Each structure stands twice: as structure tokens, then as C-alpha cells.
Amino acid sequence: MLLYKLETVLTPGMTSGHYRFPFTIDKAFRQLRFHYVYAPKRLEDRQQSLELVKACYARYGFQINEAQAEAELPLSNLITLSVDSPEGLAGTAHRHADDAEYTIGPTFSSPGFHRMEIVAGEWAVTLSAHAVLSEKVVAEVSVYGD
């Protein structure tokens, strides 16, 4: 059963931010499943990518040539997911996957998440924007109760 659906847009100015989205579960479930996807994964604009690489190195006092910048490509957007339960942190999926499913339950939880009872109350997903390089990144989280 679909319990919550989040669709949001992240932009480069949101890089290094953490964005919390609370939702309420009105009854206990056997487990929760979180389907998480964002796009685009890669910054496809080659020239923009090269400029970003060179600017990053320059911030730290290094000058690099085109070949050195090219070696850093492709550049990727990176948005990760954390989940809070009514009792506190349920876990994190700070991985590089742009399309994944995570499970939380009392007998099995995906790596990075605590095994726990799924209780009624306020839950939340937090999206951590480690790198938003594209003009916009669309993120979606669907939460299912079984």
C-alpha cells in the first residue's frame, strides 16, 4: 500500500544541504519499503563539467590542464536518503545508486537501516544533496507499507 509519495526538485544552490520531509503513518505495518530514484545521475554537458572541475581545483590553489580535467569526467549528481522513525534515526543509505529500494522491518532491514517495529506516528525522509551539478535534479521517494 502506498503511504507517501515525495516528488521534489533540487538545484545546484542546494548542494551540501539536508532536506527533511515528514509524513505520518496512521497504523503499524509489518515492514516499510522505500523506492528512491533521482535523475539525471550524470551531468551530460561536457564543457560545463570541465569548467566545474577546473573551478574546483582552482578553489584549492591548483591549476589543471584540459587533459587533467577530462580525467575527472563524468561528473555525477549525488543525492542520498536517510529515514527517521517516531523513535529517532531509522537509518541511512548514503550510496551512489540513483534508483534503489530499501526495506525496514523487525526481522530484516536493508544494510544501513535498523531492524525495528513499524509503528504509527511521524516518520521522515531526509534527502542529502552532496552534489547537485545539473540545472535541476528530480528526486522521488515512494513509501509502501506491507
The answer to whether residues 59 and 86 belong to one domain is no
pLDDT score recorded for residue 73: 97
Domain span at residue 53 reads 45-74
pLDDT score recorded for residue 37: 98
The answer to whether residues 86 and 132 belong to one domain is yes
d(CA 9, CA 94): 19
Residue range 44-65: average pLDDT? Answer: 96
The answer to whether residues 141 and 96 belong to one domain is yes
Residue range 83-110: average pLDDT? Answer: 97
The answer to whether residues 52 and 115 belong to one domain is no
In the three-class reduction of DSSP (H, G, I as helix; E, B as strand; rest coil), residue 13 is classed as helix
The answer to whether residues 97 and 59 belong to one domain is no
pLDDT score recorded for residue 100: 97
The answer to whether residues 54 and 122 belong to one domain is no
Nearest alpha carbon to residue 10 among 80, 57, 73: 80
